[in-house]
Structure 1
Amino acid sequence: MKNIKTFGIFILLAFLISSCQESEKSNLTLLSDEIPTDIPLVFGEGIVSMDEAMDFAITFSPEMDEMYFTRRKPGGTNNILTSKLVDGSWTTPQLAFFSSNGTWEFEPHINPTGDRLYFGSTRPINDTLKSPGLIQWYSERKNSRWSEPLPLEKPSAATYMMYLTSSAKGNLYFTSQEEGAKPENGGIYYAMAEAGGYSDVQKMGNEINNGKMIAHSYIAPDESYMIFDGERPSGFGDSDLYISFKRNGSWTEAYNLGSKINTEQTEMAASVSPDGRYLFFHRGFEIQVEDDGSEWLGNIYWVDFRSVKESIKKSKNNN
């Protein structure tokens, strides 16, 4: 009888484990053999994340059946690639429909409602020959198709707008800097959506903009948290990922995401899957090339964001 009970418990545990694994499956897991826990894994190895390239800044449609991300090969420019889920499989990534030859285009973001795709570009405006510098462009989804991109005229930053992300309310958060400031002294800025447009651009407080190379903010759809990267004396490497929570209308101090995510390499350009399950980020390193130059290489990683977030909340008493 004892052996029968033990066998029955074993069968039950096996069923529960199998059920949990099935419940964790999604469109995103089709690209990887393993589903990540609290240890980051390379995402889409050999498909999205390639050797001898820098892959970063990934975004997904709300249905998680379409993705856009940035790739830069040594000696090349930043390009945005896209892949779609067709008949249960992801297509081979190819250049996005709006790609423009000879210009940098990178760091795409699909807003939470799925009807706007933002990206940074140095392309000229209105067929002029001169680039306006790094500005944001956007495409709107109409009748299941993306429109031709237009430059984002408002809000307008003093210098550039990089890595723009949007909340469900349409509030925009991005990287920029003041006129004359050094690149390492840039930071995170925002503009609130209001009737007929946006508020004036404002710089976030010292809770976020504390350290050097503060950049690449991802805002939660409900604006309950923000993830960004930067260099601080307490960090683990060149650039680490941090998270700040909004409590009673104010942002908490930013907490390092910890040694399981941050390493001696560079971690940056975070985003979270639309279902809130997975945190995506770039991990990479610099290599020296001919003529005393350098290039960046690295992959897109993913990790179970729910366990990471709850662990930080618990340890910092942010329940």
Structure 2
Amino acid sequence: MVPNMRKFVPTLKKLSMLLSVFLSASNIAQETGPFNLGSTVNSAARDAEPTFTPDGNTMYFNCFDRGERIGSDICVTHRQEADWSEPQIVWEVSTPDYLEVEPLLSPDAQQLYIMSDRPGGFGSTDIYVSNWLEDKWSEPRNLGKPFNSPYMDHCLYFSGEKWEFAYWTSTRPGGLGGNDIWMSEKVNEIWQEATNLGPKVNSAAHEHHSLPSEDGKSLYITTTREEGFGMEDIYVTTKNNNGEWTALTNLGPDVNSDQDDRCPAFSPDFEYFYFDSERLDGFGNKDIWYIPYSLIKDIR
């Protein structure tokens, strides 16, 4: 043995252990994401706000500037083994001259909710619903009150076994900021007057896109409040034992970056948490990303 080599053996062992830990951490990071949905779905423009059929093999989302089209539409893509098909514009619910965004499929995939600024609504943007007619979607119908008002109304979500609780975003009077989260409960098949979720959830900033957890006890909310990682971050609020919503908690760096991170969605089995982001290693303006939901499920 080389003289004094014994002195270096423990050091080499330590370096080997440190390298092993580093490689292990690197592998964990690769396994946990966030993962980009890829260049077939994501383009150089904006791709955002996914929603899935019950089997998880069809995804509707908001797409911009697809093909020769310049503007915002609803697109659909189908999973083919491990890959997604080339997205197609859903022309039954999209218009050549107006904005269509924020699709939401019902649990049985028989209704498709969207937001649009097409004429004939209550306000500047309204929420519409389309029904599946065997092989195509029906003409979207305005959802009416209490969802729509003379102001901006958008980002609709439901919770409850019968979808009896509705959450959406509105700029109507009575809020705390620009966009606030509002809700309504269906009682005897009638939707009740909209109520603001209050100062624990809403602020002088913008709060929108309120995604309920599987049990309906938490809402994942996008907000522009200043204490986040970027311009828009995703937070969570959870009902306490008194049924009151708690103050928002930031989901942290597994989801949020120094760019916009927003508009979450679940895979149908609640195994994955999807969101759109402007982080710099994507393909375009906004891309759809996802992580294992287990990474953030316990944040409350």
CA distance in 2, matches of 1:247, 1:181: 22
Q: What code does the residue aligned with 2:63 have?
A: R
Which has the higher mean CA deviation after the structures are superposed, 72-81 or 60-69?
72-81
Shift of 1:118: 0.4
Q: Given the superposition, is the C-alpha separation of residues 63 and 185 from structure 1 closer, same or farther in structure 2, using an over 3 Å criterion? A: same
Residue 148 (structure 1) aligned with residue 139 (structure 2):
yes
Q: What code does the residue aligned with 1:156 have?
A: F
Identify the residue that residue 291 of structure 2 maps to in structure 1: 303
Identify the residue that residue 11 of structure 2 maps to in structure 1: none
Which has the higher mean CA deviation after the structures are superposed, 65-74 or 229-238?
65-74
- Which secondary structure state, in structure 2, belongs to the residue aligned with residue 297 of structure 1? coil
From 67, 90, 93, the counterpart of 2:59: 67
CA distance in 2, matches of 1:138, 1:233: 34
Who wins on radius of gyration, i.e. which is larger?
2
CA distance in 2, matches of 1:143, 1:166: 24
Identify the residue that residue 138 of structure 1 maps to in structure 2: 129
Give matches, 1:69-218, under 5 Å.
69-73=61-65, 76-85=70-79, 90-98=84-92, 99-125=94-120, 133-141=124-132, 143=134, 146-158=137-149, 159-168=151-160, 169-170=162-163, 171-179=165-173, 185-218=178-211
Q: What code does the residue aligned with 2:276 have?
A: H
Q: Contact (CA 8 Å) 1:161, 1:176: kept in 2 or not?
A: yes
Shift of 1:109: 0.6
TM-score (norm: length of structure 1): 0.74
Residue 263 (structure 1) aligned with residue 251 (structure 2):
no
Identify the residue that residue 243 of structure 1 maps to in structure 2: 236
CA distance in 1, matches of 2:275, 2:135: 28
Q: What code does the residue aligned with 1:148 have?
A: E
Shift of 1:79: 1.0
Q: Contact (CA 8 Å) 1:122, 1:131: kept in 2 or not?
A: no
Give the number of aligned pairs: 263
CA distance in 1, matches of 2:190, 2:30: 40
Give matches, 1:265-304, under 5 Å.
265-284=259-278, 297-304=285-292
Shift of 1:213: 1.6
Identity of aligned residues (%): 26
Q: What code does the residue aligned with 1:111 have?
A: S
Structure 1, residues 173-219: CA drift from partner, whole Å, max 9, x if none? 1111124989x622111111222320101111222113512111112
Shift of 1:166: 1.4
Q: What code does the residue aligned with 1:280 have?
A: Y
Q: Contact (CA 8 Å) 2:214, 2:270: kept in 1 or not?
A: no
Identify the residue that residue 45 of structure 2 maps to in structure 1: 53
Q: What code does the residue aligned with 2:288 have?
A: I
CA distance in 2, matches of 1:155, 1:144: 30
TM-score (norm: length of structure 2): 0.78
Shift of 1:221: 4.4
Shift of 1:285: 6.8
Q: Contact (CA 8 Å) 2:40, 2:84: kept in 1 or not?
A: no
Which has the higher mean CA deviation after the structures are superposed, 271-280 or 161-170?
161-170
Greater strand proportion: 1
Unaligned runs of 5+ in 2: 1-28
Unaligned runs of 5+ in 1: 1-34, 287-295, 314-319
Q: Given the superposition, is the C-alpha separation of residues 37 and 141 from structure 1 closer, same or farther in structure 2, using an over 3 Å criterion? A: farther
Shift of 1:250: 2.1
Shift of 1:143: 4.8
Shift of 1:239: 1.0
